[in-house]
Amino acid sequence: MEKALVVNFGGQYVHLITRRVRERGVYAEVVQPEDVEAAAEAPDVKAIILSGGPSSVYQEGAPDVSDKIFHLGKPILGICYGHQLIARKLGGVVMRGKGEYGRTLMRLLERDPVFDGWNAEEVVWMSHGDYVKEPPPGFVVLAVSENGYIAAMRKGHIYGVQFHPEVSHTAKGGLLLENFLRKVARIASTWRPEEQIRRLVEDVRRKAAGGDVIVGVSGGIDSTVTALLVHMAVGERAHAIFVDHGLFREGEPQQVVSLLTSLGVKVQVVDARERFLKRLEGVSDCEEKRRIVGEIFAEVFAEAVSKIPNAKYLAQGTLYPDVVESGAVKGADRIKSHHNVGGLPPWFKLELVEPLREFYKDEVRRIAKALGLPEEAVHRHPFPGPGLAVRIIGPFTREKLEIVRKATKIVEEELERAGLLRKVWQAFATVGDDKWVGVKGDKRSVGYIVAVRIVESEDAMTADWARLPYEVLERISARITSEIPQVTMVTYAITTKPPSTIEPC
Ligand code: XMP
């Protein structure tokens, strides 16, 4: 399959670029700078994109690529750091400047196929301190920013852009990528994840030929799709295990089991609620809560697996970003403490099967849809492995757990009623120890404060609080305080990530 390589210079946008390319039907793969020379020679590689990154090109140890990639005749697009690296390597000058951050006006000086469909002036999104002062010999400056910086340059098949075409704030950024892939690199549009199902099933069948396959299911889209693919591949040799840690949302365990059962997958439910809750009682530190949940999960899961005599494989819903992340750290163990299956003990000798390792979340959703999963499963919000435990601030108590569980249900119901649930990334309630005096009936009573968190996001790396209609917020507040007697105040969390995080702890 024809593909583009995206060279990872450590910027937060490398996955965004890769996803944007794939959204255009072109398969793209992240490569580390030291591997690009070898990878680029493959005949199916039709284009190379150099990503942005936090370094400065003259800094010692700044990421670099082999000069050879510029002489392969394959189209290259450098973005931000990538653009500056092209300048430095091919004889231009890069300097430290005043910097440009956020929306910036850019003016085209030359017409070029990559800017087809762009107006002479467009708003682009910048994030740079260094800038290209002198383009390398032979390069034509295609565009300049309102501050006079070179915004785009080209020589033959090599392009550099100072702005970020991959972010949505660059309104015509998608068009630029499309132009580069189609008109410059002429890559075929062949990437459709939902057409890979047969191959994935065959891969699992081949890999897991020698024994039974265990799948830990959590209700999340990744583990659900993994379970389904494994079931399609090995039938009765697939064993789905669902550990109920007591930290799920209301009705969730039943929904998970009935969905999988309806798809023909047999699920074994392990009710370990007491074991988890007892150990969590009184624990305040969130990382400690995570550690406890991970540890007990591993014990319970291992016990369940030990009862399956022919267990030989463990199927995990590992996604592409995790694969890249662990591959980028040389010598790091590739098996991540992944979601629920955090920190399985070393004696836990199962071979890993990871059918989703080349896909992004939105691609898994496309696969899920093609497999016939219902809409609510396809668009289910991400839910943390340690469940509601990370939505309780301060000491863990069963009372706070019930408050969070009930309040989260109300948040979800009201968003669903307003037709907004699927439009947001996550929506939930949290509770801590702060109290607010309330009047209920004629009596004053001290109650809990519930903070509601509803965010929009593309990948959980950054997030914005959802601008909801006041009426929706009002209904959420009214229902929480009337249906949960211990709550006297509802607040709405209005801080973006960063500086905040999505979960409260
Ligand atoms: P934060 O709170 O770091 O969350 O902004 C980013 C995303 O990760 C999820 N999250 C977790 N997922 N185990 C998980 O499996 C965890 O311990 C955990 N903590 C946060 C969070 O829901 C959000 O989608």
Residue with tokens 């030989």: 312
Mean pLDDT of 148-152: 98
Neighbouring-strand partners of residue 186: none
Q: Pick the more confident residue, 441 or 28.
A: 28
Distance CA 185, CA 175 (A): 14
User: Ligand 1: which residues within 6 Å by Cβ?
Assistant: 290, 339, 382, 384-386, 390, 426, 460, 497, 501-503
Distance CA 313, CA 309 (A): 12
Ligand 1 centre from 458 Cα, in Å?
Answer: 14
CA-based nearest residue to 368, from 233, 443, 263: 263
Give the angle 372-359-206 at the CA atoms, nearest 5°. 80
- The region of weakest confidence among 6-10, 12-16, 314-318, 424-428 is 12-16
Q: What is the predicted pLDDT for the residue at 347?
A: 56
| 193-378 shares its CATH topology with 397-492 | no
Q: So what CATH class is 193-378?
A: alpha beta
CA-to-CA separations, 414 to 107, 138, 473, in angstroms, rounded: 46, 60, 9
Q: Grade residue 11 by pLDDT with cuts at 50, 70 and 90.
A: confident
Q: Pick the more confident residue, 329 or 32.
A: 32
Distance CA 244, CA 222 (A): 18
Mean pLDDT of 43-48: 98
Ligand 1 centre from 241 Cα, in Å?
Answer: 22
> 3-184: which CATH number, 3.40.50.880, 3.30.70.3270, 3.40.50.300, 3.50.50.60?
3.40.50.880
- Is 164 among the catalytic positions? yes
Residue with tokens 């399985």: 344
Mean pLDDT of 320-324: 89
* Residue of 100, 166, 363, 414 marked catalytic: 166
Over residues 270-315, the pLDDT tens digits come to: 999 999 999 999 999 999 999 999 999 999 999 999 999 999 999 9
Mean pLDDT of 74-83: 98
**pTM score of the predicted model:** 0.89
Q: What is the predicted pLDDT for the residue at 453?
A: 98
Of ligand 1's atoms, which has the minimum distance to the CA of residue 503? Answer: 2
* CB of 393 closer than 8 Å to CB of 283: no
- The region of weakest confidence among 294-303, 338-347, 356-365, 463-472 is 338-347
**What length does the chain have?**
505
Residue range 397-492, CATH number: 3.30.300.10
Q: Pick the more confident residue, 11 or 279.
A: 279
The ranges assigned to domains in the chain are 3-184, 193-378, 397-492
Across all residues in the chain, what is the average pLDDT?
94
Grouping H, G, I as helix, E, B as strand and the rest as coil, residue 460 is: coil
Ligand 1 centre from 505 Cα, in Å?
Answer: 9
Q: What is the predicted pLDDT for the residue at 326?
A: 72
DSSP conformation letters of 204-252: HHHHTTTSEEEEE--SSHHHHHHHHHHHHHHGGGEEEEEEE-S-SPTTH
Over residues 209-233, the pLDDT tens digits come to: 999 999 999 999 999 999 999 999 9
Q: What residue's CA is closest to ligand 1, atom 9?
A: 384
Q: What is the predicted pLDDT for the residue at 340?
A: 37
CA-to-CA separations, 300 to 6, 211, 222, 305, in angstroms, rounded: 40, 21, 21, 9
DSSP conformation letters of 100-154: EEEEEEEEESS--GGGTT--SEEEEEEEEEEEEEEPPTTPEEEEEETTS-EEEEE
Q: What is the predicted pLDDT for the residue at 330?
A: 42
Distance CA 212, CA 98 (A): 60
